[in-house]
Each structure stands twice: as structure tokens, then as C-alpha cells.
């Protein structure tokens, strides 16, 4: 495996050269808030700080994605085709991209998402090691290695004042040809090279989740119970009581992926957009008849927790939470999914013990 040692300034310079052919999504500070934004000035990139406010899923699954356009002369494809690079993705966010790959792919889920697939093919991911924890993050408990991840096309390790770019996907490696660095021995061990999986959508994918890079780190946050039991035995309203139903958690979440389609008409052209939906909204799963199977915030909150921790484990063998803590930091009501899941697990254990005694 190839690796390049490079100074930060040459790296930034190199990214600047790529701007000509690629759209670059990178962490930049805007009015004091570090966030992933499409950049036009590479000097603004901030690597290695805390976790950006929102997740990099914007590149693959944007807030609003035009799918097709209807015009008088016919229907045109509105999908995004420009090659993209996302820079400065921390291991938790790399894991989230790998999870979205699984969720949106036919192989592990039942459906193959053509819009996601097209964007994914055009995306090069450049990861970076996590040197600074953010408040409320708990990725270790979900088996994420903060120092290395091979789920991306290239991974940057920080070595003193130098960066080492480990090129994990030789095809994507060509983007670094213009970078002013010197080749070095890769930080990643050679043994990993054989079994590493390129995050190419078309590639075969193992059934086990790819993000558990370290076998010692087994997921500790694991709800193992039948959902029908959990519906009634867990007092969901005590968790959802301080939830305002704003949906920020789902907007900043790197793995939330519910969406709806909406048609927008402007100047005689109708665009069909795929937009984010959120299980926190009252209109989520509202039927045309007026019936809603999740009428109150309690049921909607239950949906959010169990979707991440139970349903996707059953359907795609992943726990769709990376422990990035974004929802915890951004929640206006102070709802904490980490604490909630821990509490649920301890309640299940207590019930099991009680059941065993009886």
C-alpha cells in the first residue's frame, strides 16, 4: 500500500489544485461554527479539530436532491454527476458512510438506490484520524477505532507536523499525483492490505459490518430483545418527555436516511426532489386516511432509537449509530441517545434477571 508524507500546507495546496475538477466538501469554520461545506477556498479547511457540526452525508444524500425534471419537451435527468471529494472525515463518519452504503445497497438491504449509487461512484473519501474527542461522543462503545479506518479511499494519519496519506484505494490514489509529498511506508500494516474492502459501491461486501476495524472493540451498546416486548416494557415517555420534536437530531445524524419525494414547480418546470424526512416530525408516517401509527412524540422517539439499534441490526446487521454524539450536542431539549440506550439495556437486563428468578 502506498503512502505519502506531506506537510499540511502542501496538502491544502494539493486540494486547491483538485478544486478544478472536483467539488470538495470539507470542514470549514463559518461564523464560528465548524461544519462540512462545499468549499471554494482551500485555505479555509480546518483539519483535526472537533467533529464538524453536521455530518458529511450531504455529499451522498443531500437535504434536497433533484431527481428528475419535467418540462414541456419531456423528462430530463437531474441527478448530480460531478465528481466529489470529501476531506477530513473522521473514523466515525467513515463508518457512517459505510453504513449508508449497506443501507442503500441491494446486497444487504432489499433495494438498490440508484441516486445514492450514482453519487457514491463519484465520491472520493479522504479520512483523518480523530485526535480530539467532542463532548458526548461515545464511538468506542460502538467499536470504532479513532486512530485508523480503512473504509475510505485514503486515510490521513497525523505524524508530528506532517500528514501521512495512506492510499487505500489505488484507483482513487491518482488524485494525489499532484501533491507535493514524498512516498513513505504506510502506517497501516501490510496484512490489512489483503482483506481491506474498498468502499466501491459495486464491490462485494462482507455480511459483517465493515466498520468494526478492531476485533477487541465489540459493540457494547447492543439492545438484544424482541421489539414487541420493548414496545410496552420500556417507559418510553420518560425519555421523550423533554423532546421538542424539532428533528435536529435526525438532520445532524450521519446515518439517518429517511426521505420523501416532493414535486416543486417553478417557471413551468417541475422538479422531483428527494428530501430528508425525520421520524421526529408529526407528519412522519401519516397515512392518507389521517391515521398515524406513531401519533405522539413517545412513539416517534421509540422509532428513532429502535430503528438505529434494533431494526437495522436485524435487516442489515449493523447498528446504525456511530456514537458521534452530534444529536446529543445539538438537542435543544437535552435528549441523550447514549444514556437512553444504556438505560434501556439495563432495564432489559433487570427484567431478564427477574424472569430468571421467577
Give contact residues for another protein (rule: CB under 8 A).
30-33, 35, 53-54, 63-64, 135-136, 241-242, 244-248, 251-252, 260, 262, 264-267, 271, 273, 275, 281-283, 325, 328-330, 332-336, 338-339
All cell numbers assigned to 302:
421509540
| Cell 508530528 found at | 160
Separation of alpha carbons 26 and 52, rounded Å: 9
How many other C-beta atoms lie within 10 A of the C-beta of residue 44?
14
Separation of alpha carbons 296 and 235, rounded Å: 14
Report the residue number, 36 or 155, with the smaller CB distance to another protein. 36
Sign of CA dihedral 8, 10, 13, 14: negative
Report the residue number, 135 or 182, with the smaller CB distance to another protein. 135
DSSP 8-state symbol, 109: S
All cell numbers assigned to 242:
423533554
Report the residue number, 169 or 271, with the smaller CB distance to another protein. 271
Least Å from the CB of residue 298 to another protein: 11
Least Å from the CB of residue 119 to another protein: 17
80-89 as b/e, with b when 16 or more CB fall inside 10 Å?
eeeebbbbbb
Least Å from the CB of residue 161 to another protein: 27
Separation of alpha carbons 269 and 139, rounded Å: 45
- Of 254, 252, 261, 297, nearest to 279 by C-alpha is 297
Least Å from the CB of residue 245 to another protein: 6
Least Å from the CB of residue 164 to another protein: 32
All cell numbers assigned to 126:
479522504
Rounded to a whole number, what is the distance in angstroms from the first to the last CA of the chain?
58
All cell numbers assigned to 83:
465528481
Least Å from the CB of residue 262 to another protein: 4
Report the residue number, 303 or 336, with the smaller CB distance to another protein. 336
Report the residue number, 202 or 244, with the smaller CB distance to another protein. 244
Report the residue number, 166 or 273, with the smaller CB distance to another protein. 273
Separation of alpha carbons 93 and 151, rounded Å: 10
Q: Which residues lie below 8 Å from residue 272, measured CB to CB, with a gap of 6+? A: 66, 67, 68, 69, 70, 78, 261, 262, 263, 264
Least Å from the CB of residue 292 to another protein: 13
All cell numbers assigned to 304:
428513532
Report the residue number, 209 or 247, with the smaller CB distance to another protein. 247
Report the residue number, 219 or 252, with the smaller CB distance to another protein. 252
Least Å from the CB of residue 247 to another protein: 6
Give the angle 332-338-344 at the CA atoms, nearest 5°: 115
Amino acid at each position: 500500500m502506498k503512502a505519502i508524507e506531506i506537510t499540511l500546507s502542501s496538502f491544502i495546496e494539493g486540494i486547491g489544485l483538485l478544486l478544478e475538477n472536483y467539488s470538495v466538501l470539507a470542514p470549514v469554520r463559518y461564523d464560528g461554527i465548524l461544519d462540512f461545506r462545499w468549499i471554494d477556498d482551500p485555505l479555509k479547511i480546518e483539519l483535526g479539530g472537533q467533529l464538524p457540526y453536521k455530518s458529511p452525508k450531504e455529499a451522498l444524500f443531500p437535504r434536497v436532491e433533484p431527481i428528475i425534471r419535467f418540462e414541456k419537451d419531456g423528462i430530463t435527468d437531474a441527478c448530480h454527476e460531478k465528481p466529489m471529494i470529501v476531506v477530513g472525515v473522521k473514523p466515525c463518519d467513515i463508518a457512517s458512510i459505510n453504513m449508508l452504503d449497506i443501507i442503500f445497497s441491494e446486497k444487504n438491504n432489499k433495494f438498490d438506490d440508484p441516486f445514492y449509487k450514482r453519487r457514491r461512484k463519484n465520491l472520493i473519501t479522504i479520512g483523518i484520524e480523530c485526535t480530539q474527542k467532542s463532548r458526548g461522543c461515545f464511538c468506542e462503545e460502538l467499536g470504532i477505532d479513532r486512530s485508523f479506518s480503512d473504509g475510505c479511499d485514503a486515510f490521513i494519519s497525523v505524524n508530528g507536523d506532517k500528514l501521512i496519506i495512506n492510499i487505500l484505494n489505488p484507483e482513487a490514489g491518482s488524485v494525489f499525483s499532484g501533491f507535493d509529498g514524498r512516498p513513505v511506508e504506510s502506517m497501516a500494516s501490510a496484512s490489512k492490505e489483503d482483506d481491506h474492502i474498498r468502499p466501491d459501491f459495486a464491490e462485494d461486501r462482507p455480511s459483517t459490518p465493515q466498520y468494526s476495524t478492531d476485533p477487541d472493540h465489540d459493540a457494547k451498546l447492543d439492545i438484544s430483545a424482541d421489539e414487541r416486548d420493548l414496545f410496552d416494557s420500556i417507559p418510553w415517555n420518560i425519555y421523550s418527555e423533554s423532546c421538542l420534536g424539532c428533528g435536529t437530531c435526525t438532520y445532524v445524524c450521519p446515518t439517518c436516511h429517511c426521505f420523501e419525494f416532493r414535486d416543486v414547480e417553478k417557471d413551468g418546470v417541475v422538479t422531483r426532489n428527494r428530501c430528508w424526512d425525520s421520524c421526529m416530525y408529526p407528519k412522519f408516517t401519516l397515512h392518507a386516511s389521517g391515521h398515524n401509527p406513531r401519533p405522539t412524540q413517545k412513539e416517534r422517539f421509540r422509532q428513532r432509537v429502535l430503528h438505529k439499534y434494533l431494526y437495522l441490526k436485524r435487516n442489515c446487521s449493523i447498528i446504525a449509530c456511530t456514537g458521534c454524539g452530534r444529536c446529543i450536542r445539538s438537542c435543544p431539549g437535552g435528549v441523550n441517545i447514549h444514556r437512553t440506550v444504556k438505560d434501556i439495556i439495563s432495564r432489559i437486563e433487570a427484567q431478564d434477571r427477574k424472569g430468571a428468578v421467577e
